[in-house]
Amino acid sequence: MNSSLAGVLLVDGLTHGAIYMQLAVASVLVFSVTRVIFVAQGEFVTFGALTLTSLLTGRVPGTLWLMVTLAIVSVLLDALAALRRQQQAAQVALMAVRSLALPALLAAVTVWAAPRGWPLWANTLLALAIVTSLGPYTYHLAFETLAGTSVLTLMIAAVGVHFAMTGLGLVFFGAEGTRNPAYWEGNSTLGALQVSNQALLAALVSVGLLTALWLFFRHSLRGKALRASAIDRYGARLVGISPARSGRLTFGVAAFISALAGVLAATGTTMFYDSGLLIGLKGFVAAVAGALLSYPIAAAAALGLGQIESFGSFFASAYKEAIVFTAILPVLLWLSIKHRRAGGEA
Amino acid sequence: MSRFLEPGRMAVMAAVLALAVLPLTPISEFWITQLNFIGISSLVALGLVLLTGIAGLTSFGQAAFVGIGAYATGYVSVVQHMSPWLGLLAGLVVTVAFASALGLLTLNLSGHFLPLGTIAWGVSLYFVFGNTDAVGKYDGLVGLPPISLAGVPLDRGRSFYSFLWLVVLLASLAISRLLDSRPGRALRALKDGTAMPEAMGIRTFHYKLVAFLLAAVLACVAGWLLAHYQRTVDPSMSSMQASINYLFMAVIGGVTYIGGALGGAALTQILDDRLQVWLPHLIGGAGHYEGIVFGLLLVLMLQRANRGMFGVFDRWASRSRREVTPQALPRSPRAVSAEPLLRVRGLRKRFGGLLAVDSVDFDVGAGEIVGLIGPNGAGKSTTFNLISGVLPPSGGTVTFDGQDISGWSARAIARAGMGRTFQHVRMVPEMSVLENVALGAHQRGRAGVLGAVLGFDAREERALLSEAAAHLARVGLTEYMHEPAGNLSMGSQRLLEIARALCTDPKILLLDEPAAGLRHSEKLALAEVLRGLRAQGMAILLVEHDMDLVMNVTERIVVMEFGRLLMSGTPREVQASPAVRAAYLGVETEGVSA
């Protein structure tokens, strides 16, 4: 292998690594705040990519109707709970209307805009908005009532969500794979390396996203509330941070990150309705390296995983996926040794 | 015979009988096929019941073990032209090797690392099967021979059916026998953390590994059966989707019931078959839409009926009444020595900048009840945890029965003869009171998994249960012996913990706030039990807030404040001490004295 080939593989690995990094960070976020090992994370990736494809071909994406349905069910459940708490009917009705305003607006804009051939960036924003709003509803309907149960139960529920979302993906988008147009054509030269602008964009977006998240957690009240929930759920609750709101917000953030990863990834690789599982699991493999707790280790591991995949596909292309997923074993060994040295429960 | 075949022993007997005569009836081949698939899946689900419902672990990679079972026999019988029975052997060897490795890597980490490890490993195995030439890549292997039993090939649906269901029946019986035994009780105690079982001298890591290995072996056998029934092997048998399907069966059926595995497998198979017909009509097009229904059903089931289909029938279950026949269990010899039994010297514990326990010294002699008291935050519980091995001390020594035990694990200390109770009661609520107490006797038995399954443990089992019953009598709980422990009142639960600790055959009993949350009458009963124990020569260290109890039953009291030893003396001396009063009520100043 010569150095220019190594350079190509390196850049390729970085592009994939950037995507996995986003997912790894989202996995750590979701687990630390809600204790959910959200194996359906990857479905938001495919939903993001394929929702954009639908919009670009002038169709109203099925995910929009899913979002509207979930919004209605979610609002109905909230209203029922409020009525049971003896809240006034007028007040409850007002609350319901308010909660439905945003999804209704989004639905109206999408239905209106879909056949009008909006530019790529505008459709991307629309797709991101639709998939992001799926996140909070997913948390509300699937996990909120289970919030007090074991990690195991939450994880099995996440598997149920994965099942349902993959099935819906097939209904919405069909079995055909698609690839979206690039946001930024052409190549740039960085020193000795030829880098496609698209790869550069993926890397820049990842860095931007991590910075934004860092600012959010450091400096915003909502972000601090999430950090508090992650550190001590009970304590956070005592100072007035609602676990339900934290959970919904977290799932919203995670869905946004995943959808963003999806629209970026779909320019380079073909997306099928069921591609999400493997992509999401790679994010998890990286997150496991950080024991599902550490953002920096998870992010670094994701970049490493991108390299393993890239070089692995060159040397043994048929076993590429096998190599990537086997990488979790040495990681677990390392965690296990570290744990034994520290003594006590992980 | 076993409460795990219930609810409804009669229903089970009827089901077994019906299954046995079914192939003799003119039932259509379609149903025989369905039942064969149900039987195979139920073996995998049975493993998941053991792993998830009983031991509180889970695996998202059971299909990978099915795949190993199938591919091993496929390779041996198609490529190497050898007997399927050799294929089974090969599959089991590979399964045990992989499962042990995965278990060793993940089982001492938090519970969610096993499922994550098994997902990743399962996905990776799927791609290995799909890309390896020797096993036909994604096409798999075809033309597997049927299994031959004493020269008779099981090549028809009905003949295979009889063999398969015999295997399922034997596996269910084996698991149900296992659960009603010494190793089985240890498995059932794993679900709510390792602190309690470890304090009973149970090697929790070992039992987690046992649960995972048994589940893997069941999945491997299912894979072997599936391969020779379909006569083909392909990578989809070991896909992630298949793994999740098995887990779905166990959860839908009722993940804590052996019958749940069967019921769940049956329900899933039939529902799957129907949905594949109905859904395309409903949605249009031809796709596998049943995932949507299964996924939603799974989430709803966890939210509304997390004990599954069988949980709904559970109220008809008759309670187990295990016979207790007297049988002596050997006790450890007690050396009479002039040395104090427990000697604590210069004990220290530092948490970051906080010195929670600072140079604490005290002794507990044989046959003596010593109270350890102090205001909240004085370091009593930390001291308790240092002595019982839950926390390692930062300095100082704990000598117990002539041995320096500082820094030993909780399990080693329990085995050395220190019995303890927990401040927040820790028991297995769904196990009977008798079985919970028998957990204490775990370290005094030897029966392993194989012995329990084959029934070689009968004599020892009698001894363990009769020992448990004797200690229940000691604390006055005999009448509740066969109740589920979760039904007991708080006071009785605390007494259960004392009986369980006594069952470990301790030289000393460490009681952590046994009177917390008790009603007055329950406190009186507790004091009575403690006095009875002292009369029988038991040494007791009692950490307690209830002054009445402490003053009434102890000979000596050790008072702690701010992590230090404030004083020690007789109850009378402690009551008279101004320093102790100041510690509890604040300093008396003139004019404000009580």
pLDDT tens column, B120-172: 888 899 999 999 888 888 899 999 999 998 888 888 888 899 999 999 999 99
Confidence at residue A227, expressed as pLDDT on a 0 to 100 scale: 85
Confidence at residue A342, expressed as pLDDT on a 0 to 100 scale: 64
Tokens of B417: 């003869």
What Rg do the C-alpha atoms of chain A give, in angstroms? 21
Confidence at residue B594, expressed as pLDDT on a 0 to 100 scale: 41
Residue ranges, comma separated, of all CATH 3.40.50.300 domains in chain B are 342-417+506-585
Q: Give the one of A155, A167, A328 whose C-beta lies nearest to B112's C-beta.
A: A155
Interface contact B98, partner A, CB < 8 A: no
Residues whose CB is less than 8 angstroms from the CB of residue B56 and which lie 6 or more positions away in sequence, other chains included: A150, A152, B111, B190, B191, B192
Q: Which residues of B touch A324 (CB under 8 A)?
A: 124
Interface contact A147, partner B, CB < 8 A: no
List the single best residue of B296, B304, B411 to mutate versus A (max A Cβ within 10 A).
B296
Interface contact A336, partner B, CB < 8 A: yes
Region B489-515: mean pLDDT is: 92
Distance from CA of B109 to the nearest CA of A (A): 6
Confidence at residue B203, expressed as pLDDT on a 0 to 100 scale: 94
Amino acid code (one letter) for B449: V
What part of A 230-289 touches B (C-beta under 8 Å)? Answer: 277-278, 281, 284-285, 288
Interface contact A69, partner B, CB < 8 A: no
> Using an 8 Å Cβ cutoff, are B141 and B415 in contact?
no
Query: d(Cα B232, Cα B216) in Å, to the nearest integer?
Result: 21
Confidence at residue B51, expressed as pLDDT on a 0 to 100 scale: 93
Q: Tell me how many residue pairs between chain A and chain B have CB atoms under 8 A apart.
A: 156
> Using an 8 Å Cβ cutoff, are B540 and B365 in contact?
no
Interface contact B289, partner A, CB < 8 A: yes
What Rg do the C-alpha atoms of chain B give, in angstroms? 29
Tokens of B477: 């709980």
Residues whose CB is less than 8 angstroms from the CB of residue B569 and which lie 6 or more positions away in sequence, other chains included: B556, B557, B577
Domain covering B342-417+506-585 assigned CATH 3.10.450.50 in the classification: no
Say yes or no for a CB contact (<8 Å) between A165 and B295. yes
Residues in chain B: 594
Comparing alpha-carbon positions, the chain A residue that sits nearest to B131 is A318
Confidence at residue A345, expressed as pLDDT on a 0 to 100 scale: 37
Q: Closest by alpha carbon to A279, among A1, A16, A3, A51?
A: A16
Say yes or no for a CB contact (<8 Å) between A160 and B119. no
Region A186-214: mean pLDDT is: 84
Secondary structure (DSSP) of B59-89: -S-HHHHHHHHHHHHHIIIIIS---HHHHHH
Comparing alpha-carbon positions, the chain B residue that sits nearest to A165 is B292
Interface contact B52, partner A, CB < 8 A: yes
Confidence at residue B44, expressed as pLDDT on a 0 to 100 scale: 97
SS3 content of chain B, % helix, strand, coil (to 5): 60, 10, 30
Q: Give the one of B57, B240, B306 whose C-beta lies nearest to A153's C-beta.
A: B306
Say yes or no for a CB contact (<8 Å) between B128 and A319. yes
End-to-end CA distance of chain A: 42
Interface contact B97, partner A, CB < 8 A: no
Beta bridge partners of residue B541, listed in sequence order: B370, B510
Tokens of B361: 């010294």
Confidence at residue A346, expressed as pLDDT on a 0 to 100 scale: 31
Q: What is the ipTM of this complex?
A: 0.90
Region B558-585: mean pLDDT is: 88
Interface contact A319, partner B, CB < 8 A: yes
Say yes or no for a CB contact (<8 Å) between A167 and B112. no
* pLDDT reading at B339 higher than 70: yes
Tokens of A272: 């099928």
Interface contact A30, partner B, CB < 8 A: no
Query: d(Cα B518, Cα B524) in Å, to the nearest integer?
Result: 10
Q: Give the one of A156, A171, A325 whose C-beta lies nearest to B124's C-beta.
A: A325
* pLDDT reading at B253 higher than 70: yes
Query: d(Cα B389, Cα B122) in Å, to the nearest integer?
Result: 38
